Amino acid sequence: MSAEYSIDTGPPPSTGLRRLKEVVVGSASSVLLPVLQRAARSHVGGETLDDALAVAHRLVHEGTPSTLGFWDTPAYGPRQVAGVYLDTIDAIAKSRLDSYVSLKPPALRFDAGVAAELGAAARAAGVRVHCDSHGPDVAAPSHAMERTLVEHCGAEAVSTTLPGRWRRSLADADWAIEQGIGVRVVKGQWPDPADPARELRHGFLEVVDRLAGRARHVRVATHDVALATEAVARLRRASTPCELELLFGMPMKSALRWASEAAVPVRIYVPFGKGFIPSAIGTLKHNPRLALRIVMNLAAGR
């Protein structure tokens, strides 16, 4: 439910679902917010780093590595956000978790000095860092921040996010390959002003094809099993190391079953912080199918 972490739940609603979308948009704040708040304990990493670490340790017992992503609110200043990231790096190192930290460059105001500090801390701790994507208008300053991270902790410890929804992601894929950093491929939440009608699955696979045989490592971030199957097949044919990345709290039974059968490594993104629920509502307003699935799962006690 992050605006960055594309929640891949199938094709956009058909004409027959337009009325449902209107209902969900109109009622999301009054109905779905309380539902999500009641479900938060089991469906998200919690508000604090300790909550997220508890989830990560539980995942370890299930044989699944993680990534920890702090979701802030406007009440947090960049220095406070940086402090949480530094604490997360330190906690991962001390607990020896197979985990990495997902950063949100806009929350850090794209500050090069903060990026250098985080990069140095990550290098000293032996922890990898990743930059989530946001709107296409801030892709350039995000990449500048990633370059600073590379300078301070090495390309092997840095990765970026490329949305299939953006035309520019093909050129950004070339850039990531040149930098020697890893890539997380998502469908993308924000439309591309240069190509607003771009088809999400087609764009996703175009980015995968651009990376295949060339990228250091690719994380296929989607709950869309058919799309994941095709993306991983293309990467494997090109002998490109890859794994499936899923968002904690999202329906993932089918994806996990497929990954197990296909022997695809899986990693779970664990969001934490007070910014999760507002982001969730923002996504649900534009994704009635996801809203309906979550409400049905809760009603069924899952």
Task: List, for residues 127-154, the tens digit of each pLDDT value.
Answer: 999 999 999 999 999 999 999 999 999 9
Kindly state the average pLDDT of the residues 155-178. Answer: 97
Domain span at residue 250 reads 15-294
pLDDT for residue 9: 35
Kindly state the average pLDDT of the residues 168-191. Answer: 96
Whether 12 shows a pLDDT value over 50: the answer reads no
Please give the model's pTM, rounded to 2 decimal places: 0.82
At 125, which amino acid appears? Answer: A
Question: Does any domain span residue 273?
Answer: yes
Task: Write out pLDDT tens, residues 266-285.
Answer: 999 999 998 665 555 555 55
Question: Does any domain span residue 272?
Answer: yes
Q: Check which CATH number belongs to the domain holding 30 and give it.
A: 3.20.20.220
How far, CA to CA in Å, does 218 sit from each of 32, 166, 230? 34, 17, 14
pLDDT for residue 190: 86
Q: Given phi > 0 = left and psi -120 to 50 = alpha, else beta, which region is 234?
A: alpha
Q: Given phi > 0 = left and psi -120 to 50 = alpha, else beta, which region is 160?
A: beta
Kindly state the average pLDDT of the residues 253-276. Answer: 93
Distance CA 147, CA 178 (A): 11
**In whole angstroms, what separates CA 214 from the centre of its chain?**
22
Question: Does any domain span residue 6?
Answer: no
What does the DSSP assignment read for 73-107?
-TTS-HHHHHHHHHHHHHHHHHHT-SEEEEE-GGG
3-state helix, strand, coil in the chain (%, to 5): 55, 15, 30
Question: Does any domain span residue 10?
Answer: no
Question: Does any domain span residue 219?
Answer: yes
Task: Write out pLDDT tens, residues 150-166.
Answer: 999 999 999 999 999 99
| 77: phi then psi, degrees, rounded to nearest 5 | -90, 165
Kindly state the average pLDDT of the residues 212-217. Answer: 98
Whether 85 shows a pLDDT value over 90: the answer reads yes
Average pLDDT taken over every residue of the chain: 85
pLDDT for residue 298: 54
Question: Does any domain span residue 3?
Answer: no
Question: Does any domain span residue 41?
Answer: yes
Question: Does any domain span residue 199?
Answer: yes
Task: Write out pLDDT tens, residues 183-203.
Answer: 999 999 888 998 988 999 999
Contact 281, 33 (CB under 8 A): yes
Q: How many domains does the chain have?
A: 1
pLDDT for residue 254: 96
Contact 196, 166 (CB under 8 A): no
For residue 4, give the nearest of 89, 107, 80, 156 by alpha carbon: 107
